[in-house]
Structure 1
């Protein structure tokens, strides 16, 4: 990992077409501006992790789901 110290207004260049500009630096955080081609994905790590965890949880089988759906539809165990 490369660690840099930058002041507001200073930039970091990544390759030929990605520019990161320090917009503001405060005690509680740093505001960054990122210029990149449209095809480059820029995502916040914590948001990506939360979405991945939610997808995994949604994909897990609920053992009672079938029984609850049948009950909501008014079906008995012999129906369907």
Structure 2
């Protein structure tokens, strides 16, 4: 797998991991009983986005390594 392929796999994996971790730990305003005037009740009270970005990056790195371990021998075996 070349550099461009690795970057493409990382970016796609990062977005998939981000969408997977976004709903984790989110509590709506209605669950806490403190709805801010002018906002939706289901809006999150604490989004924890920096933590989720780190987890998405770690997950994408793991997915990229696994994909590289699978793709590289296949490319060598079939002359890619």
| TM value normalised by structure 2 | 0.30
Q: Which has the larger radius of gyration?
A: 1
More helix by share: 2
Give the structure with the larger strand fraction: 1
TM-score normalised by length of structure 1: 0.30
Task: Kindly indicate whether structure 1 or structure 2 has the higher relative contact order, using CA contacts under 8 Å at least 6 residues apart.
Answer: 2
